[in-house]
Amino acid sequence: MMRTRPLKVALLGCGVVGSEVARIMTTHADDLAARIGAPVELAGVAVRRPSRVREGIDPALVTTDATALVKRGDIDVVVEVIGGIEPARTLITSAFEHGASVVSANKALLAQDGAALHAAAGEHGRDLYYEAAVAGAIPLIRPLRESLAGDKINRVMGIVNGTTNFILDKMDSTGDGYQEALDEATALGYAEADPTADVEGFDAAAKAAILAGIAFHTRVRLDDVYREGMTEVTAADFASAKEMGCTIKLLAICERAADGGSVTARVHPAMIPLSHPLASVRGAYNAVFVESDAAGQLMFYGPGAGGAPTASAVLGDLVAVCRNRLSEATGPGESAYAALPVSPMGEVVTRYHISLDVADKPGVLAQVATVFAEHGVSIDTVRQQGKDGEASLVVVTHRASDASLTGTVEALRKLDTVRGVASIMRVEGE
């Protein structure tokens, strides 16, 4: 039997995502009520600019006082889509204190202060859901913390930023340089006027912290995630990748050590074989590849950003949280019982593709090979091309630690026959 008294929802932020949340709540009101078991009512919308016309939203609901809205006491659920650290953190904490559960899309805040927010939610017996914080519309958070709760997850690797995937896909398919591809992404609205958060990996790193924490039942903060942007990737790198049967993606990689005693989380460009499922992810789409003991290999794919896709994830959480309110229960909270240490990047083991500019004369290859051997880095393949006294030498290694590779490169730079290191890229997905 459906309850007639509505559950009241406060919306913090009414931009691209927030306006879509409000629209879906209105247009799908009957369906949402049937799925939840009670009507849901938009009780207030906090914005910075109240004078802006917001189609479909009663102006009487609009306020600039977000603090007063979350403190009302009659609010059942607060939906936070304003982003950033403050005032979002204070507003979410206040919402818990005044009896509301929270649905958030705030990846930066969750990556930085997720543990504290979960603790606040638990203290007041309320829910904190955030499916929309990672990979937009793709159901990912809930499968990791509920569907795979009985399994052991060993690796989560994915494309979690649509802007960077669009740029790299464009460079791959057209031969464009980085700046040309970025300019097109900006013109089409895929990249912000200031794309730093995307192209330097900050956005992906925040998502990696969230994914690693859930997958490995360990608190992983943003500061724990190694981050490397993709602004230095060149058309020449793509040419080298193609010769290896690979392409290049900006990947978020979270993995458990072979001995199970630690975890790592990192974001960086990497070559992946064209045979890998992630290699075929085109345009601004996202995809996440999960490897676990029992389920094996799983891939989640779909639009990773945008108003309607992200709002879809928000509404999914809203339905779940509202159902919990009706049954006077709460869903899964933070699971950090494993408390595994997060290893530094130097301990990460992977393959490497190194391109060197060297003198075109006898003995160079032997010198380079000796340096690799002295640092315990095994070479898989070598390719050399030379002309007019100069040459390029491409070395692909077997698996080696980041620390040993760093030492190798430092030693290579000291050789008189090595003119420079043109590029270094990790090779993943094998």
Strand, helix or coil for residue 262: coil
Q: Tell which residue, 69, 135, 56, has the closest CA to residue 102.
A: 69
Which structure tokens are listed for 38? Answer: 């009670």
d(CA 79, CA 203): 21
Contact 71, 98 (CB under 8 A): yes
H or E segment and range at residue 139: none
Residue 341's CB is within 10 A of a number of other CB atoms, namely 12
Residue 361 annotated in active site: no
The dihedrals phi and psi of 252, each to the nearest 5 degrees, come to -100, 120
Terminus-to-terminus CA distance in the chain, angstroms?
A: 53
The dihedrals phi and psi of 58, each to the nearest 5 degrees, come to -60, 120
Q: Is the peptide bond before 50 cis (omega within 30 degrees of 0)?
A: no
Contact 291, 148 (CB under 8 A): no
Strand partners, 427: 271, 351
Amino acid identity, residue 144? Answer: L
d(CA 114, CA 106): 10
Residue tagged active-site, from 8, 207, 242, 361: 207
Contacts of 344 by beta carbon, 8 Å cutoff, 6+ apart: 226
Strand, helix or coil for residue 137: coil
Which structure tokens are listed for 272? Answer: 């992946």
d(CA 209, CA 358): 39
Q: Residue 28 has what DSSP assignment?
A: T
- 324 alpha-carbon distance from chain centroid: 28
Report the catalytic residues: 207
